[in-house]
Chain A
Amino acid sequence: MHLSDWTLEQLAEGLLPQAEHRDASLHVESCARCASVVDGYHALFAALAEMPRFAPSPGFSDAVIARTRLTPEPGPVALWLRQFMPKTRRGWAMLAAAVVAPALPILGAIAWLLTHPLLTPVSLWQWATAQGTAAWASTSVVAVRWAANTGVAGVLLGAYDAARAVPPEALTVLATLLAIAIPLSVWAIVRLVRTPMKNVTYAN
């Protein structure tokens, strides 16, 4: 009995499991009809494998690049922030309302105060600075009392003396290190926001 066309095709393609491959090969060796089918497949595969690949016109790559957005994708922090951003116009309107609504009564109160004959911007400013100074004074009093009662004042004064004892060269070195470290950390944060991490999976 001859082998099926499907088996012969798989044999020619080398896709038969080992045992089946051996059995089929044995049959084909002794059967001219099956051998010619396998030969036909081999010839077809060889002819198909000879088919060349074609090249597009020379300007192809440039044309594609011209239509490609080359800006980097937002980094993970920006992506994280983005999920809180409204996606629709309605969303933006609601966000705006959420921000503006609490501000409205305050703006109303300010408007009312400004229409009051005795209240001028200058008098309001004086009142506000007076309140601020008073608050600062009372805070300072509380802080000094707390420091005195807990003995922290001694520590702070000791630290101040110690700092004065540091030679100015050391302070210069410290200042230089800070001058390098601060921009470096700012740069790192910016990179983190702008560059996607390599191993983050953005599958959908």
Chain B
Amino acid sequence: MNLALIPATDHDLIALARTGSEKAYRELLDRYQRPVFSLVYRMVRDRELAEDLAQETFVKVFNHLDRFNPKYKFSSWIFKIASNLAIDRLRKREPDTVSLDGSRHASTPDEVEATRITVESKDENPEEFLEAKELGEEIERAIGLLRPEYRTAILLRHVEGRAYEEIAEVMGVPLGTVKTFIHRARAELRETLAHLRIET
């Protein structure tokens, strides 16, 4: 199978990876490293820790492909492992020290700056960018205030564009619970962001 020519499905790639194809593993990494890293990073809000957890996620998934149930989506499985690892890590931390501005392991202002979630320029207009950057950072901050479960649900819904059913699968909770998580998360976000008067 030539991966460069045929847009292989995730399931094809898994079958290929199981025969030992490094190329197939790398293609799966290309597809999922940004989504997985972004989710974990926004959960733990510490770049270095997020990188470790994302790596842990892939290693766990890749070394247990034989446990993958093809009835489900590969994305559900990898997000499930990633969010479980992130939530476990958050529970191990002291409850009130989840940092909004940078790693709580950062001790100097430079380290705080280096580990802070920042929004990078996407367009050419500097004024518009500054506005967008400000809004983006306010949203990142507001997301950081949500409970980990709400945060996972809202990120999967709005950043990854996942269906409610898939989010329920990822989080291992009933569909109704996901709807409640997302509804409450949005209510909290609207309240936190009320002062911004965001317009469409």
Tell me the A residues contacting B by CB distance below 8 Å. Answer: 5-6, 9, 39-57, 60-61, 63-65, 67-73, 195-196, 198, 201-204
Q: Closest 8 interchain pairs by CB?
A: A48-B158, A72-B20, A68-B62, A56-B37, A53-B38, A64-B58, A53-B34, A203-B69
Check if A55 sits within 8 Å of B34, measured CB to CB: yes
Q: Would you mind naming 11 contact pairs between A and B with Cβ atoms under 8 Å apart?
A: A42-B200, A43-B198, A49-B159, A51-B158, A52-B136, A53-B34, A53-B159, A55-B37, A60-B55, A67-B55, A71-B20
A6–B22 touching, CB < 8 Å: no
A65 near B37 (CB under 8 angstroms)?
A: no
* Chain B nearest Cβ from A83, distance in angstroms: 14
- Give Cα A64 to B30, complex, Å: 12
Q: How large is the interface on B (under 10, 10 to 19, 20 to 34, 35 or more residues)?
A: 35 or more
Distance between Cα atoms of A201 and B68 in the complex (Å): 9
What residues of A have a CB within 8 angstroms of the CB of B139 in the complex?
47-48, 51
Tell me, yes or no, whether B9 is within 8 Å of chain A by CB.
no
Bound CA–CA A45/B122 (angstroms): 19
CB distance from B199 to the nearest CB of A (A): 6
B22 to chain A, nearest CB (A): 6
Contacts of B29 in A (CB 8 A): 60-61, 64-65
> How long is the Cα–Cα vector from A115 to B16 in the complex, in angstroms?
61
Q: Which of B20, B37, B136 contacts A50 (CB 8 A)?
A: B136
B119 contacts chain A at the CB level, 8 A cutoff: yes
B33 pairs with A44, CB closer than 8 A: no
A49, A53, A56 interface centre (most CB from chain B within 10 Å): A56
Cβ–Cβ contact B33 & A46, under 8 A: no
Q: Please tell me if the beta carbons of B25 and A65 are within 8 angstroms of each other in the complex.
A: yes
**B183 and A6 contact, CB distance less than 8 A:** yes
**Which stretch in B94-102, B103-111, B185-193 binds the other chain?**
B185-193
* Cβ proximity bits B1-36 to A, threshold 8 Å, 1 near / 0 not: 000000000000001001110100110011001110
Task: Report B141-200 residues with CB < 8 Å from chain A CB.
Answer: 154, 158-159, 183, 186-187, 189-190, 193, 198-200
Contact with A along B65-78 (1 / 0, CB 8 A): 11111110000000
- Whether A198 pairs with B15 at a CB distance below 8 angstroms is yes
Q: In the complex, what's the smallest C-beta–C-beta distance from B179 to chain A, in angstroms?
A: 9
Contact A202 B66 (CB under 8 A): yes
Cα–Cα distance between A46 and B159 once the two chains are bound (Å): 11
Q: Find out whether the CB atom of B158 lies under 8 angstroms from the CB atom of A45.
A: yes
How long is the Cα–Cα vector from A52 to B122 in the complex, in angstroms? 9
**Alpha-carbon separation in the docked complex, A144 to B194 (Å):** 105
Check B81 for interface membership: any CB of A closer than 8 A: no
A42 to B186, CA, bound (A): 11
Q: Is A196 touching B55 in the complex (CB atoms < 8 A)?
A: no
Kindly list chain B residues whose C-beta atoms are within 8 Å of the C-beta of A40.
190
Asked if B85 is at the interface of the complex by the 8 Å CB criterion, the answer is no
Closest residue on chain A to residue B63 by CB atoms = A69
Interface pair A196/B19, CB less than 8 Å apart? yes
- CB of A58 to closest CB in B, whole Å: 11
- Residues of B contacting A5 in the complex (Cβ-Cβ under 8 angstroms): 187
Q: How distant is A129 from chain B, measured CB to nearest CB, in Å? A: 50
In the complex, the answer to whether B18 meets A54 with C-beta atoms within 8 Å is no
Closest A residue by C-beta to B189: A44
> In the complex where A49-B158, A55-B37, A70-B20 touch, is A39 in contact with B200 (Cβ < 8 A)?
yes
